[in-house]
A and B are shown apart, each in its own frame.
Chain A
Amino acid sequence: MLRYVIRRIIAFIAIMLTISLLSFWLMRLLPGDPIVKHLGTSYTPDNAAQFAHQVGLDQGFFAQYFTWLGHALTGDLGYSWNVSPNSPITTIMSKTLPPTIEIAVMSQIIALLISIPMSVAVVRRPNGRFDRGVNAVMLSAYSIPTLIAIPILTLILTVRYSLLPGPSSWISFAQDPWLNLKVCLLPAIAISIASIAGHFRFLRNDMIINLQEDFVVMARSKGLTNRRILWRHVLRPSSVTLLTSVGLTIGGLIVGLFVAEIYLAIPGFSTQVIAAVDTSDYALLQACIMTIAFIVISIQLIVNFLLPIIDPRIARD
């Protein structure tokens, strides 16, 4: 167990370091000069040299990288260059990350709340009429891009029925919790559509396979109802697949979040990443990339850690 944890932590550090070095290098290949973007109309060679010296751009690549790394390891991510000059990046993050995480978590809760009961309902009669109908709907849902889902949902939920606030009505949780949840709901639903369909397919197929197992016949011979067999004996072994699906969804989820935040003008993390790219704000962009990497890798780590707890047959190594 200890060896397992140590191995995982070493892998985690190695991946983070690799990503940091690659992204540090790649973003310097992006078109756009951060000095020009920073100075704008007050650009003079003197000002430029002074700014370059101030942020370390006059040094070699590795000198810059190791200076950044040294600070980052002590929790100091530095100051934003261009998006909001001279604000500490940690402060910016603490403002922009919460809305995005809120929407992401909400979308996954919605996805699980719908896909799990749906899967349990259809596997009572695999390939029956209900199952085939739901499968068709799920496949259609899977093919709707978030880019299309958001305007359609806005038209229905905001314009037609006035149930939820529309674009540009962002309000933070601290200001008005109830309204904040309502604002988050529309993008959360839009992003959850693909997750629902994905989780459903994985879970349904795995439950159908598990229903062929002897332990289901055994459970039947004990006089358990079908309902109890599905929820207590089949869902948990099949949750291994479901959890893997949740882990795999993260990539698509991040793309969906970008689309949703831009479309609905939510001042979240994605909006900030785009601003950082736009203004060649290397310091902020680097911090954003490391944050995404940290979240994605952590989720995989948590998934790997949870799998043996869900199914004791799975070994940790």
Chain B
Amino acid sequence: MAIDQSPIVVVDHLSTTFRTPRGPLKAVNDVSLTLERGSSLGIVGESGSGKTVLSRSIIGLLPTQNVTQTGTATINGSEIIGTRHKDLLKIWGSEVAMVFQDPMTALTPTRRVGQQIAESLRINLNLSRKDANLRAIELLRQVGIPSPERRARAYPNQLSGGMRQRVMIAIAIACGPEFLVADEPTTGLDVTVQAQVLDLITDLRAKSNLTMILVTHDLGVVATRTDNVAVMYAGRIVEQAPTAALFARVAMPYTKGLLDSTPRIDAPSHTRLSSIEGRPPDLVNPPEGCAFAPRCTYATDECRTVRPELVRSTLDANHLFACHHPLNGHQAASSLTENQ
């Protein structure tokens, strides 16, 4: 059988709007992206930039009440946006899976962890109770949990944070999904445990050619674990590039701000950490022009009135940015929309 070369995830002009008491809130605004099979995309941005909503929109996991979505998102060719819950059930768990930020709140507190893995196996793969339980123990061993037979009978609150995150990963990979969304998978963990969990995800991905979206605000994690990076601000992708290219030559002042606010180990002690002044804009009343302009030191009148489109760079056709005053010699080659 020939290897399928088509992209596994295609998102096209996707917007997600929440109905709030204050008015419609566009959490994801006209986002397009593609993921090749086996690749990993990091989505970075501040809190409230829309990265979590985007990742959940792509797999159809948002609640339906008070949410409207436009555009399309396909996984393995099947449309997600507007698809009935009943049909999404067939994809969830078996084709796509998710790992959440806080394994304490994301595991059901009243069910044994073994049950929580076995349940997915029984429903998606039609395994018998006995087979599912054996397979669950096997999965726990696979994610590096010592004495899995005993741990399978534990409740989530009886495990450490790192072990809970391993359990969550075991649940996610249980039914052999092709696409994994990891939403801040290491944020709540100790630094040493973070590395272990990320290594585990990397190993598992390599074994089964798993495609991944890694949502995080930690650029250090992105730098080492992803092939591509998309930087989000106010619901839009403002810069997107292969990971190495992005870190080598940042185009967006916002991305530069994020990089500068990362602590550096080679800086002298007591160095003041730089930060981006101001707060992200209110998405119910988004500003005209560039959403980042009010916080940007390079902003001109043009930035405050005309919103920059996401364009290709003349230096690198894979490097996209949305800025009137790009850094490091980047220049707009052509609008993406004209290109397509």
Which A residues lie at the B interface, using CB under 8 A? 125, 213-215, 217-226, 228, 232-233, 236-237, 310-313
Contacts and interface: CB of A to CB of B under 8 A. Distances in A.
Interface string B160-183: 000000001001000100000000
Given A221-B59, A223-B120, A223-B124, A312 B110 contact: yes
B173 to A, nearest CB: 12
A214 B102 CA distance: 8
Contact of A221 (B92, B111, B119): B92
B124 A237 contact: no
A233 B108 contact: yes
Given A222-B171, A223-B92, A215 B123 contact: no
A223 B94 CA distance: 8
Contact of B89 (A213, A223, A310): A223
A232 B158 CA distance: 20
Contacts of A213: 105
**Majority secondary structure, A binding face:** helix
Interface string B76-94: 0000000001000111111
Interface in B298-334: none
Contacts of B171: 218, 222
Contacts of A220: 61, 92
Contacts of B90: 223
Interface of B: 56, 59, 61, 65, 85, 89-94, 96-98, 100-102, 105-111, 119-120, 123-124, 155, 157-158, 168, 171, 175
7 contacts: A214-B106, A221-B59, A223-B120, A224-B89, A237-B108, A312-B158, A313-B155
Nearest to B56: A217
A222 B157 contact: no
B49 to A, nearest CB: 19
A215 B124 contact: no
A112 to B, nearest CB: 18
A310 B109 CA distance: 10
B101 to A, nearest CB: 8
A236 B175 CA distance: 26
A213 B106 CA distance: 7
Contact of B98 (A221, A228, A310): A221
Contacts of A312: 109-110, 155, 157-158
Contacts of B97: 221-222
Contact of A218 (B107, B110, B155, B158): B107
Given A222-B123, A226-B85, 11 more contacts: A215-B108, A218-B168, A221-B92, A223-B92, A223-B93, A223-B94, A237-B109, A237-B110, A312-B157, A312-B158, A313-B157
A217 B59 CA distance: 12
Contacts of A225: 89
**Majority secondary structure, B binding face:** mixed
Nearest to B93: A223
Contacts of A222: 92-93, 97, 119-120, 123-124, 171
B110 A214 contact: no
Contacts of B94: 223
A214 B108 CA distance: 9
A257 B28 CA distance: 58
Most chain B CB within 10 A, of A218, A221, A224, A313, is at A221
B106 to A, nearest CB: 4
B314 to A, nearest CB: 41
Which 5 A-B residue pairs are closest in the complex by CB-CB distance? A223-B93, A223-B92, A221-B98, A214-B106, A312-B155
Contacts of A228: 123
Contacts of B96: 221
B119 A224 contact: yes
A228 B123 CA distance: 11
Nearest to B92: A223
A311 B109 CA distance: 7
Contacts of B120: 222-224
Contact of B109 (A221, A232, A313): A313
A236 B106 CA distance: 15
B108 A219 contact: yes
A221 B61 contact: yes
Contacts of B56: 217
A17 B23 CA distance: 61
A267 to B, nearest CB: 43
Nearest to A221: B98
A237 B105 CA distance: 12
Contacts of A311: 109-110
Given A312-B157, A312-B158, A215 B106 contact: yes
Nearest to A315: B157
A217 to B, nearest CB: 6
A233 B106 CA distance: 11
Contacts of B100: 214, 217-218
A231 B120 CA distance: 15
B213 to A, nearest CB: 13
A236 B110 contact: yes
Contacts of A215: 105-109
Contacts of B89: 223-225
A272 B56 CA distance: 64
B230 to A, nearest CB: 21
